Chain A
Amino acid sequence: DAGVTQSPTHLIKTRGQQVTLRCSPKSGHDTVSWYQQALGQGPQFIFQYYEEEERQRGNFPDRFSGHQFPNYSSELNVNALLLGDSALYLCASSPIRLAGMGDTQYFGPGTRLTVL
């Protein structure tokens, strides 16, 4: 049973460029969340996708956008890259549960983005 996978592992871009990161959720999971983790910090919630729609968004500018495909995989797009976008980008998947139940989120290995 494959866990959450992300690609690529590492990426180097220059300021102003655009980047697309990819995530495949764990088998049986239909919700995907994206997090940004700066060096020395905890992960920060970017947004979450369910049924191909963005359900909730954290405090990130519109330069950060996403997409979820019918097979539940997801992409994170970042436009007009800034030096401050350098971080580890983590994807997490979870199955839908009743409200209030809560559940474990399974994280992928992350994509390390460096903006020069």
Chain B
Amino acid sequence: SQQGEEDPQALSIQEGENATMNCSYKTSINNLQWYRQNSGRGLVHLILIRSNEREKHSGRLRVTLDTSKKSSSLLITASRAADTASYFCATDAIGGSNYKLTFGKGTLLTVNP
């Protein structure tokens, strides 16, 4: 079963704009990670945020985590056409294996040149 739900399911923006994707999950977690997937290929790890962290940055990426609302957001600033991909959040649950990731259905981001 899917733990997380990404919102929106699809997002289309112009190059240079910012893209924000949201993720909600159901159970308490240890960590939340964001991955990118290009055209049904392998997943590329973007960023990991631990349950005791509220915000994390990596280059043009900014991730926030609100454990009280069981939600996270991924912000991509100054988007590029190469950012076009599906984005997934993945969680590992407290009391479970660190390596059993539960994914949402993803947000399909299209960045138009």
A residues sitting closer than 8 Å to B (CB atoms) are 4, 31, 33, 35, 37, 39-45, 48, 55-56, 58-59, 88, 90, 92, 94, 97, 99-110, 112
- Distance between Cα atoms of A92 and B103 in the complex (Å): 14
A103: min CB distance to chain B, Å = 7
**With A102-B50, A109-B42 known to touch, is A94 a contact of B99 (CB < 8 Å)?**
yes
Q: List 25 A-B contacts (CB under 8 A).
A: A33-B101, A35-B103, A37-B40, A42-B4, A42-B104, A42-B105, A43-B43, A43-B101, A44-B103, A45-B100, A58-B100, A90-B42, A90-B43, A92-B43, A94-B99, A101-B98, A103-B98, A104-B33, A104-B45, A107-B35, A107-B42, A107-B44, A109-B41, A109-B42, A110-B42
Give residues of chain B (29-48) contacting chain A, Cβ–Cβ below 8 Å.
30-31, 33, 35, 40-45, 48
Of B41, B48, B96, B104, chain A has the most CB atoms within 10 Å of the CB of B41
Of B96, B103, B105, chain A has the most CB atoms within 10 Å of the CB of B103
- Distance between Cα atoms of A12 and B25 in the complex (Å): 35
B106: min CB distance to chain A, Å = 6
For B, the interface residue count at a CB cutoff of 8 angstroms equals 29
Contact B40 A88 (CB under 8 A): yes
Q: Does B102 contact A (CB under 8 A)?
A: yes
A92: min CB distance to chain B, Å = 8
Contact digits for B1-39, partner A, Cβ 8 Å, 1 yes 0 no: 110100000000000000000000000001101010000
Partner of B98, one of A43, A59, A99, A110: A99
Q: Enumerate chain A residues within 8 angstroms of B90, measured Cβ to Cβ.
A: 42
Q: Enumerate chain A residues within 8 angstroms of B101, measured Cβ to Cβ.
A: 33, 35, 43, 45, 92, 105
- Distance between Cα atoms of A35 and B104 in the complex (Å): 13
B22: min CB distance to chain A, Å = 15
Q: Does B68 contact A (CB under 8 A)?
A: no
